[in-house]
Amino acid sequence: MGSDTANVPVLVAGAGPVGMTTALALHARGIETTILEAEPEDRDRSGSRAIYVHGTTLRTLERIHPGLGTDLVDEGLVWPTRRTLYKGTEVFNRTYDSPGGSGDIPHFTSVPQVTTEQYMLDALADVGIDIHWESEVVTVDSSSNGVRVETADGQEWETEYVVGADGGGSTVRKEIGANFEGDQSENAFLIADVVDEAIDDDHPDLERVFHYDAPEADGRNVLLVPFTGGWRLDIQCLEDDDPEELSSDERMREFVCDIMGEEYEDQLQWVSSYYFLQVMADSFIDDHRRVLLAGEAAHLLAPFGARGMNSGVADADEAASAISVALDARRDAVARDEIELYAARRETAAEYNLDAAGQALEYLQGEDPVTVLRKEVAASLADQFETAGEWLDDAPYGPHGSPPIVSTGNY
């Protein structure tokens, strides 16, 4: 080993929510770790991205860093009302007395990803985990004895295990020779955050609204979800739309004004357009069972069902658990086996999540006559049969079946 080579038991590439969770989960198991992050400390993580944080995720965060889950619960909100409209007519409206359930951790909370990440950064500082900013991982060489990592500034690292949590464009994934397989949504989606300081847990009208073929969006599907301090506005482009043009400031202000009301016209905080990729790596681990992929480095999902960050947190916790057992193993074969089990579990979970998000996408974009007819019929029956409206309300989100790995509840 060269004199300037740094040595640490486990390296995490990427300080997104998944990398930070991995580091906290390793620390909780008594394992020393360091995060290498490509961007500078004062980076701008604009755009809230994940807002829907599942109860399972909150419980995991609370377990690995007591107070982290409950802090997010305090920061976030639980909307009690689900409402759906179809071409301007309400077809479903239900308010729950106790939408979060009982206990400290609700079924979900709605909190912007930037806030979640800030709490994670604070938790890392709390337990003294280093983030090496401006340390872009450029090479990853694994062998049966460990991994050698080099960052763009020329620093070399030697470590037992690497967790690649370096996002969709993952260098770690490419370095281990894994490839993304899958496809992309046909339609683009416009996603915006609209500021509304009045939105918090005590607000009287917290509702998630889905509007099929909304007249005020010229027949596009519209989703509105509240989070602390604002609203997530999601507009599904039509097939012939030019997403660049529609996401211009001027056009988005018009959308906001027409959909939400004039008082919101100047409250647009952030907007972006996406074609959602539906892909997963063909292997979540390297040949030597020393490098594990987690989060978006391993899989990219359309956000219907909110499985992206949530499943990334499950990856992170299970990666830490597998590494913890592997580090203590007296036999190499046992260590290898544990890492392989990680891959088997998380690849199964990713397939399940991709399938669920894919079904939701197909349903939303589906122009096939059966899907169109089912929606029309359900909307026409919603007045007499609540289940018809409930089906319309529920269908855009997944997953609808039970999770594939029942023992852990993680998926």
Ligand X SMILES: Cc1cc2nc3c(=O)[nH]c(=O)nc-3n(C[C@H](O)[C@H](O)[C@H](O)COP(=O)(O)OP(=O)(O)OC[C@H]3O[C@@H](n4cnc5c(N)ncnc54)[C@H](O)[C@@H]3O)c2cc1C
Q: Applying CB under 6 A, which residues contact ligand X?
A: 13-19, 36-39, 49-52, 113, 136-137, 165-167, 171, 191, 274, 295-296, 303, 306-310, 312
Q: Which residue is nearest to ligand X (CB)?
A: 16
Evaluate whether 18 touches 294 at the Cβ level (below 8 Å): yes
Distance in Å, CB of 42 to ligand X, minimum: 13
Q: Which is nearer to ligand X, 389 or 398 (CB)?
A: 398
Distance in Å, CB of 77 to ligand X, minimum: 14
> What values do phi and psi take at 249, rounded to 5?
-55, -45
SS3 content of the chain, % helix, strand, coil (to 5): 35, 25, 35
Distance in Å, CB of 135 to ligand X, minimum: 6
* H-run or E-run covering 388: helix 386-394
Distance in Å, CB of 89 to ligand X, minimum: 27
Distance in Å, CB of 396 to ligand X, minimum: 13
Q: Which is nearer to ligand X, 233 or 259 (CB)?
A: 233
Evaluate whether 238 touches 246 at the Cβ level (below 8 Å): no
Q: How far is CA 198 from CA 74, 80, 81, 206, in A?
A: 16, 16, 17, 11
Q: Which is nearer to ligand X, 133 or 363 (CB)?
A: 133
Cβ-based neighbours of 203, under 8 Å, separated by 6 or more: 77, 226
Q: Which is nearer to ligand X, 299 or 375 (CB)?
A: 299
Cβ count within 10 A of residue 144: 11
Q: Which is nearer to ligand X, 65 or 307 (CB)?
A: 307
State the distance between the two ends of the chain, measured CA to CA, in whole angstroms: 39
Distance in Å, CB of 296 to ligand X, minimum: 4
Helix axes 68-75, 55-64, angle to 10 degrees: 140
Q: Which is nearer to ligand X, 208 or 345 (CB)?
A: 208
